Structure formats: structure tokens, C-alpha cells
Amino acid sequence: MYRLLADATAGVHFLFVAYLVVGGFLACRWRWTIWTHVVAVVWGFSTVLFGFVCPLTELENWSRRRAGEAGLPPSGFIDHYITGVLYPRSALELVRVLVMLVVLTSWVLYLRFYRHQRVPSVQ
């Protein structure tokens, strides 16, 4: 049961990371989600900038240890599952910059889309 919880937690963590990257584009379709995306971005980048430990990482570690497995390394979820797997470790800083550019691009599109909708038509 603990192994299932650990695997489910890792799955949710992957979904969170994916949402952090593309959630701004989803907000162009579902306007109200921009606030959840802002919170996700602030949290995600805070873990990088300030070294906060993500509660999902803690839950996965706890579950894996209860299941008799090793937890994640101290470097965390991203380092264990993504860095070195989806991109080379040497590209970490580039990937961080690219993620931030994708997020900022999505926010600019969101603002342009909704600003354009609010402008009254001139007749």
C-alpha cells in the first residue's frame, strides 16, 4: 500500500511540474486557472531559489521508506526523475531559463487575450 502511495505521489508530482510549465496556456482557455498557475510558479521557483522542500517530495520519501525502499536523494524529485533523464545535467540552468521563458510567454499571451476581449468595440 505504501508503494502505491509513493508511486501515486510521484505521478502527482509529475503533473504539478507539467502544470507549472504549461498552466499559463491552459489559463488562456480557462481564465480562472491563472491564479492556480501563479501559485504553482511561485512555489516551484521558490523551491529552486530558496531550497524549500516540497511536501510531495516528503510524502514520497515517507511512503517509500514505509514500503522498505530508499527515498529520493537529498537533491529531490527533479534531480532524481527529470535532470539527466529528460535533458543532460549540464543543461540544467538552460532548462530553468527556458521554463521561465515558456511561463512568461504564456502569461503575456493570457494578458493579450483577455485585454483584447475587454476592449469595447467602437461603432
Other Cβ atoms closer than 10 A to 55: 11
Closest CA to 11 of 77, 102, 98: 77
According to the model, what pLDDT value does residue 18 have?
96
Residue 105 scores a pLDDT above 80: yes
Number of separate domains in the chain:
1
Element (DSSP H or E) covering residue 3: helix 2-29
- Structural domain boundaries, residue 108: 2-118
123 located within any domain: no
Of the chain, the percentage scoring pLDDT greater than 70 comes to 95
Of the chain, the percentage scoring pLDDT greater than 90 comes to 75
User: Which SS3 state, helix, strand or coil, does residue 50 take?
Assistant: coil
According to the model, what pLDDT value does residue 48 have?
86
Confidence at 118, pLDDT banded by 50, 70, 90: low
C-alpha 103/C-alpha 38 separation (Å) is 10
According to the model, what pLDDT value does residue 114 have?
84
36 located within any domain: yes
Average pLDDT over residues 40-63: 92
